[in-house]
Amino acid sequence: MRRRTVLLSMAASLLGACGYGEAPAGAAGTRTLIVYYSWSGNTRAAAERIRELTGGTAEAIRPVKPYPEDYAACVELAKGECRTEATPAIAALEADPADYDVIFVGSPNWWGTVAPPVRTFLKQYDLSGKTVIPFFTHGGGGLQRCEATVRGLCPSSELRKAGAFPGSRIGTSGGAIAEWVGQVTGGAR
Ligand SMILES: Cc1cc2nc3c(=O)[nH]c(=O)nc-3n(C[C@H](O)[C@H](O)[C@H](O)COP(=O)(O)O)c2cc1C
């Protein structure tokens, strides 16, 4: 009986070491990376707030070919890319996600899903065994298919509940972001 208990607790610690344990994502010693793409600054502002709250490292995803600055042109290009689930080339990240335990992944809601550079990031980097926490800013549509898309692209990660914040009110969303970060990291920071 005692041997069985020891074996069970060893298995539990091993699972914990692989990132499947119950330790809060914000526990002391947890290394947090915030990776995001932002076209007009709203998702960057949310990422900055998350960085302040978690003490993590934030890094933007940079498409090799930037999206047009003109809104209508960007919307048109994004429409085709989102429909075909395109994965445009992105610059290599300075941070190595392998060095982190918790990865916040941020994107604007584009055509109901993640912006294509975020899709590229999720396909290109192996986040298995990591705690992945998606967040989005949007123009009124909320999450739509954004969270489901990230789940589909991270089948071996531990996904936490996505945050969704209206882009037009991002400047006054600091409290809402803090509340959500508290929930998804287990309260510890
Ligand atoms: C190409 C494009 C497509 C968009 N599609 C949607 C959408 O389907 N639903 C929605 O709620 N907002 C949509 N928006 C609005 C953005 O999600 C919103 O403005 C967001 O906060 C922008 O984030 P950013 O400043 O980090 O780029 C779209 C914006 C752009 C530029």
Measured in Å, residue 112 CA sits from the centre of ligand 1 at 9
Q: What is the pLDDT of residues 76-100, one digit of tens each?
A: 999 999 999 999 999 999 999 999 9
- pLDDT above 60 (res 45): yes
Does residue 189 belong to any structural domain of this protein?
no
- Are 182 and 175 within 8 A, CB to CB? no
Supply the DSSP symbol for 51.
H
Question: Which CATH number covers residue 42?
Answer: 3.40.50.360
Q: What percent of the residues of the chain are helix, what percent strand, and what percent coil, each to the nearest 5?
A: 40, 20, 40
- pLDDT above 90 (res 13): no
pLDDT of amino acid 111: 98
Does residue 11 belong to any structural domain of this protein?
no
Does residue 44 belong to any structural domain of this protein?
yes
Does residue 152 belong to any structural domain of this protein?
yes
State which ligand 1 atom lies nearest to the alpha carbon of 144. 9
The pTM for the full model equals: 0.88
State which ligand 1 atom lies nearest to the alpha carbon of 107. 26
Does residue 92 belong to any structural domain of this protein?
yes
- pLDDT above 80 (res 187): no
Measured in Å, residue 48 CA sits from the centre of ligand 1 at 18
Question: Which residues line ligand 1 at a C-beta cut-off of 6 Å?
Answer: 38-44, 74-75, 78, 108-112, 137-141, 167
pLDDT of amino acid 26: 66
CA proximity to 144, closest of 157, 134, 133:
134
Does residue 161 belong to any structural domain of this protein?
yes
Q: What is the mean pLDDT of residues 34-40?
A: 98
Q: Domain limits at 148?
A: 29-184
Rounded Cα distance, 67 and 77, in Å = 8
List strand residue ranges (DSSP E) for the chain, in order. Answer: 32-36, 57-60, 102-110, 113-114, 131-138, 158-159, 163-166
pLDDT of amino acid 3: 53
CA 1 to centroid of chain Cα atoms? 43
- pLDDT above 60 (res 7): no
CA angle (170, 172, 177) in 5-degree steps:
70
Q: What is the mean pLDDT of the chain?
A: 89
| Top-confidence residue, 17 or 55 | 55
Does residue 145 belong to any structural domain of this protein?
yes
- Are 128 and 157 within 8 A, CB to CB? yes
CA proximity to 132, closest of 161, 110, 109, 108:
161
Q: What is the pLDDT of residues 95-147, one digit of tens each?
A: 999 999 999 999 999 999 999 999 999 999 999 999 999 999 999 999 999 99
Does residue 158 belong to any structural domain of this protein?
yes
Measured in Å, residue 68 CA sits from the centre of ligand 1 at 14
Q: How many domains does the chain fold into?
A: 1
State which ligand 1 atom lies nearest to the alpha carbon of 141. 11
Measured in Å, residue 56 CA sits from the centre of ligand 1 at 25
CA angle (127, 130, 134) in 5-degree steps:
80
Residues forming a β-bridge with 110: 113
- pLDDT above 80 (res 48): yes
Rounded Cα distance, 183 and 171, in Å = 21
Rounded Cα distance, 51 and 151, in Å = 22
pLDDT of amino acid 28: 73
How many other CB atoms sit within 10 Å of the CB of residue 182? 14
**Alpha-carbon radius of gyration of the chain:** 17
